[in-house]
Chains A and B, each alone.
Chain A
């Protein structure tokens, strides 16, 4: 098994493990409404600025060989 395949397997395993673990932890410790004060802050949101991300992904897509994985669409060229 080559290194790349092993690395990919490790990353997938880690992603599944972390996500599953996160869900399990949350199930045991629900967040009450009065504890959500900070969750709406910009720092706690991964999608707080889609217009900005739209441009950044276009920029990366024009200069790097691996689009995808940002939760963002591309489309058209306009590649700066």
Chain B
């Protein structure tokens, strides 16, 4: 079955509304190759940044996801192979002052059954003698979910229209769509403690309202999945970086805690509708909790080469609306909410990656290769392992950045 992600969007964004990662004019080209048992993705990306007069700068990116997948949803009997393309483009404009920065950004993503518009604004303030950085961001996303069925494939078991009724539209095969609106905000504070120690803490939230199920995914005995139309997502993160100058070694540790907020009855932040299937449950219908720990080690080798090793561990409890359909036919018998989403099961993942950065200055003066001498190359390989039906994935990345 085709996998869906519902564009959950995420405040304090580096790209959309955060501080600049590089303070110069540059072009970055990158290609990602992703492969798991049922899916392959090739993603070329171009990013361009340019300083403008009066303290302004502009950053834009364009990417294409070419997704080839084996999908039961794409054919009437068994798996079919199909390829889909997702296009994305973004534009960010920044204005800099001596100790502050403001940004406005827009991002658009389109594929044959999912369209997303994101607007974001951000502000960055440097404090405590330029040792502290306070970042604020907020924005909104406007997504549209459709359904794409190849050929004469039948609709999934059950009625997709039922899943869409709470938000007032229907979702027949590819002719109508359902909306998903998002609002998000974030705050991050970064502090230089010593010349070799930096810490960061942050909080982000996103409010989702709309169609959050997959129009393709079905639940045994129940048909198309039905999930609540509202969700309040929260995360706090702590990061620490330490550089050991004598060894040329850098270390980063990240920790993140995520939780869905129990919003319906406790504070009534969000308006509820009588037709919400979760409005009468009295409990947090999502109730996902997760912990993420990530460590990175950086090592410089000579003047031109830097290595980076990354390990990430993620663990998540099951969503409140999920129950294992293999545990018995009565699992969802009396429930108005049901899902078969692997992301809402107890999930554990690990990610291990190695990366090489190489400054190409040694090519200066060489014919042809010398054209690339002002830039830097990067190559990485990672393996992503998961205990769900996604199993595992290989990720290869290659990139080149050149200042101009």
Residues on A facing B (Cβ under 8 Å): 4, 7-8, 11-12, 14-16, 18-19, 22-23, 25-27, 29-31, 35-39, 41-55, 57-80
Contacts and interface: CB of A to CB of B under 8 A. Distances in A.
A53 B14 contact: yes
Q: Which 5 A-B pairs have the closest CB atoms?
A: A43-B250, A76-B109, A69-B235, A78-B86, A43-B298
B45 A68 contact: no
Interface in B185-244: 186, 188-196, 198-206, 233-239, 241, 243
B116 interface: yes
A19 B191 contact: yes
Given A19-B189, A22-B191, A65 B7 contact: no
B357 A42 contact: yes
Contacts of A43: 241, 243, 249-252, 296, 298
Given A23-B128, A42-B357, A65 B316 contact: yes
Q: Is the interface of B mostly helix, strand, loop or mixed?
A: strand
Contacts of A4: 259, 289
Contacts of A27: 128
Contact of A75 (B28, B88, B195, B204): B88
A35 to B, nearest CB: 4
13 contacts: A18-B201, A41-B243, A46-B190, A52-B30, A62-B3, A63-B3, A65-B290, A68-B235, A71-B186, A74-B8, A75-B7, A76-B111, A80-B34
A38 B166 CA distance: 54
B189 to A, nearest CB: 5
Contacts of B254: 46
Interface of B: 3-16, 18-19, 21, 28, 30, 32, 34, 36, 39, 41, 43, 45, 47, 61, 65, 67, 86, 88, 107, 109-111, 113-116, 118, 120, 128-132, 135, 141, 143, 186, 188-196, 198-206, 233-239, 241, 243, 245, 249-252, 254, 256-259, 288-290, 292, 296, 298, 306, 308, 314, 316, 319, 341-344, 347, 349, 357, 380, 384, 386, 388, 390, 393, 395, 397, 399
Given A4-B259, A75-B109, A80 B239 contact: no
A77 B87 CA distance: 10
A43 to B, nearest CB: 2
A5 B281 CA distance: 19
Contacts of B198: 39, 44, 46
A23 to B, nearest CB: 6
A44 B195 CA distance: 10
A25 B118 CA distance: 38
B260 to A, nearest CB: 8
Contacts of B233: 66-68
A46 B86 contact: no
A46 B205 contact: no
Contacts of B14: 47, 50, 53, 71-72
B86 A23 contact: no
